[in-house]
Amino acid sequence: MLDLAAIDRPLADLLARELEEVTIIFERQLASELSAVNGLCVHIEKYRGKMLRPTLVLLSGLAAGGDPCDGSALTGQHRAIAAVCEMIHMATLVHDDVLDEAEVRRRGATVNHLWGNESAVMLGDYLISNAFHLCSTVGDPAINLALGDVTNTLCEGELAQLHHRMDLGLDEPTYLEIIKRKTASLIGACCRLGAKLAGADDAVGDALHRAGIALGVAFQIQDDLLDLVGHEAEVGKTLGRDLDKGKLTLAVIHCLGAAGQDERGAALRLIERGDAVALREHLEQRGSIAYAAAAARRFVDEACAEFAILPPGTGRTLMEAMAESVISRRH
Amino acid sequence: MLDLAAIDRPLADLLARELEEVTIIFERQLASELSAVNGLCVHIEKYRGKMLRPTLVLLSGLAAGGDPCDGSALTGQHRAIAAVCEMIHMATLVHDDVLDEAEVRRRGATVNHLWGNESAVMLGDYLISNAFHLCSTVGDPAINLALGDVTNTLCEGELAQLHHRMDLGLDEPTYLEIIKRKTASLIGACCRLGAKLAGADDAVGDALHRAGIALGVAFQIQDDLLDLVGHEAEVGKTLGRDLDKGKLTLAVIHCLGAAGQDERGAALRLIERGDAVALREHLEQRGSIAYAAAAARRFVDEACAEFAILPPGTGRTLMEAMAESVISRRH
């Protein structure tokens, strides 16, 4: 996602070592007495990604922990909570891949064909359950409550998104509310908890929470843009899935909202036909791609403004670089 | 399930009032700021059942709390944990209804047709998340850890069951291990936590935990029997689903294991054809139905033997009656 080593080699190395420990905690937590369960857990590896959430927990702890930015502010709790947040995220990925019948009919078994819906559901449940179990081992009821609140919000976002599926009247505030819940709430919690566990005061925790929320919104807008205009080989997954699932994203919402009656009709026909190539061209001509990219830019700026509360130093510099990378990424 | 009022009217009334409060906590916990979420939660009502798990939390508290058995041993924590256990149970019901593609092809959209797989998955996740959130409000990290452990075990049971789907070589010990995990672990926790929250010592908590495990195993054996030999109108759901899902249950396992080569072949053909009526007759003739019923009986007796640690009185009498009702029920 981002070459942190180009900015600060020692800190990048430190983060890499910490992330390795997070991975060990992650895998140890999921190991089961039952070989059948371990056999299924192997499939989780295909969801391994950028480790954005654990990185933000650790980096928030480093950046808020004061000088020297040498890892002394990080605790075992950071690593456990980093693993918990990644586990919650992976559960949502696994469950997002469960298809409804319409999907099966329309696209054939493109996703999930390896092990079927039921295994995907149970595997996701196993991840959620282990996330809460691991969280409970930290022994701080306030963290359990905070993350329980986040997962409630996250599920509400997913349910609201399903409710608005095929809703061609979806407006921008509703879209932003949905992605704030389903994506940004967890990222906000990563930043806040990382800072809190490093002993930061409430003002810093609150600022990093707001920064994480803004970052999460920017991240999702960029994700949705890549689904529309990315290159499949770079993004690493089938594009146009949002449209297939009846999910309207910011560029499309802008295009439908800004258009006159005739233009709206033309865009709607492209959406209904599922013609991703023609729609992409249409959105570019109407300035809707640029509109969504500018919105993501604004949220990144918002996050960076919040980082001003952090002590100046490499920690803060890396947080800013992370924020930039959220919208400059191609996958 | 059971007419408790016929045994002890005042205690039955007390339980009914407590269960009403549990229901209020349950519904208040799930209420969302988003109307779209509340609209989907309405569907959960169709899963409302016997409230076996909350009843066991409360009754274990009453029975272990000593004389007078007047409800003074029950706390707000009992009611919260009772709601948590019901929420976990309902999440498994909602997720059990998610079909894989094979299922869709074979049976058509008999289950879940109202709102599709994806909504069912997210709704189940919302229930799990809220269960952990509500559990965290109790503020005792040990309870969070214990219930996290239970849900891990429960998911492992579900995953092992999926792993053994269509496994015609499934043996009795593996079957018992699976149902112990997927069904009995939660019921064991209900009994233990109910007693612990009423101030019972570890010996009583452990005994009630063992009793709950035995009860849960008996409950699942009976559930599986009803799927084979129940009356659809009484059971209230489509029968023969276990076979359709490739799930071998105790009577079938007994029949396949006890049979000679030829008989085994005959039984296998009935299973493969999905001929529930002929299979039922076959299992009855071979004594396999009686074998499974006797096993359930043994587990109920095991549970009742553990209840001997409880002070004699109406609480214990009601626990024994609950245990009996698990195998005498017709739905």
Considering only CB atoms, A163 lies closest to which of B36, B100, B102, namely B36
User: What sign does the CA torsion over A314, A320, A322, A324 have?
Assistant: negative
Total Cβ atoms within 10 A of residue B231: 11
* Residue partners of A177: CB distance under 8 A and separation at least 6: A157, A160
List CB contacts (< 8 A) between A95 and chain B.
Answer: 121-122, 125
| pTM of this structure | 0.93
B100 compared with B34, residue with greater pLDDT: B34
Radius of gyration of chain A (CA): 20
Give the single-character DSSP code of A40. H
- Is the confidence metric ipTM above 0.95 for this complex? no
d(CA A223, CA B155): 31
DSSP B61-73: HHHHS-SS-SSTT
Tell me which of A96, A125, A145 to substitute to probe the interface with B (most B C-beta atoms closer than 10 Å). Answer: A125
3-state SS record for A65-111: CCCCCCCCCCCHHHHHHHHHHHHHHHHHHHHHCCCCHHHHHHHCCCC
CB A187 within 8 A of CB A92: no
d(CA A314, CA A249): 35
Per-residue pLDDT of chain A (331 residues; tens, 9 = 90+): 678 888 899 999 999 999 999 999 999 999 999 998 898 887 777 777 789 999 999 999 999 998 777 888 999 999 999 999 999 999 999 898 886 654 444 444 433 555 678 888 999 999 999 999 999 999 999 999 999 999 999 999 999 999 998 899 999 999 999 999 999 999 999 999 999 999 999 999 999 999 999 999 999 999 999 999 887 767 766 667 788 778 899 999 999 987 777 778 888 888 888 788 889 999 999 999 999 999 999 999 999 999 999 999 999 999 999 999 999 987 7
* Residue partners of B193: CB distance under 8 A and separation at least 6: B57, B60, B81, B85, B143, B146
DSSP A261-320: HHHHHHHHHHHHHT-HHHHHHHHHHTTHHHHHHHHHHHHHHHHHHHGGGSPSSHHHHHHH
Q: Which residue has the tokens 């407006």?
A: A171
Considering only CB atoms, A141 lies closest to which of B129, B136, B163, namely B136
Q: In Å, how far are A110, A271, A283, B229 from A276, measured between CA atoms?
A: 17, 8, 10, 52
User: Smallest Cα–Cα separation from A58: which of A69, A74, A70?
Assistant: A74
DSSP A163-210: HTTT-TT--HHHHHHHHIIIIIHHHHHHHHHHHHHTT--HHHHHHHHH
d(CA B26, CA B80): 8
How far apart are the CA of A309 and the nearest CA of chain B, in angstroms?
31
Domains of chain A: 4-328 (1.10.600.10)
A-B CB pairs within 8 A amount to 172
Report the largest interatomic distance among the alpha carbons of chain A, rounded to a whole angstrom: 62
Summarised one tens digit per residue, pLDDT across range B175-230 is 999 999 999 999 999 999 999 999 999 999 999 999 999 999 999 999 999 999 88
How far apart are the CA of A210 and the nearest CA of chain B, in angstroms?
20
Q: Is B148–A141 a contact, with Cβ atoms under 8 angstroms apart?
A: no
User: Smallest Cα–Cα separation from B82: which of B205, B186, B230?
Assistant: B186
How far apart are the CA of A143 and the nearest CA of chain B, in angstroms?
9
User: Smallest Cα–Cα separation from A172: which of A322, A292, A301?
Assistant: A292
Amino acid code (one letter) for A40: L
d(CA B253, CA B265): 13
d(CA B85, CA B73): 19
User: Smallest Cα–Cα separation from B21: which of B88, B66, B71?
Assistant: B71
Considering only CB atoms, B123 lies closest to which of A39, A102, A159, namely A159
Total Cβ atoms within 10 A of residue A229: 18
B226 compared with B246, residue with greater pLDDT: B226
The C-alpha angle with vertex B171 and arms to B165 and B175, in degrees rounded to 5, equals 65
Amino acid code (one letter) for B231: H
* Residue partners of A129: CB distance under 8 A and separation at least 6: B128, B148, B151, B152, B154, B155
How far apart are the CA of A299 and the nearest CA of chain B, in angstroms?
24
d(CA A195, CA A306): 13
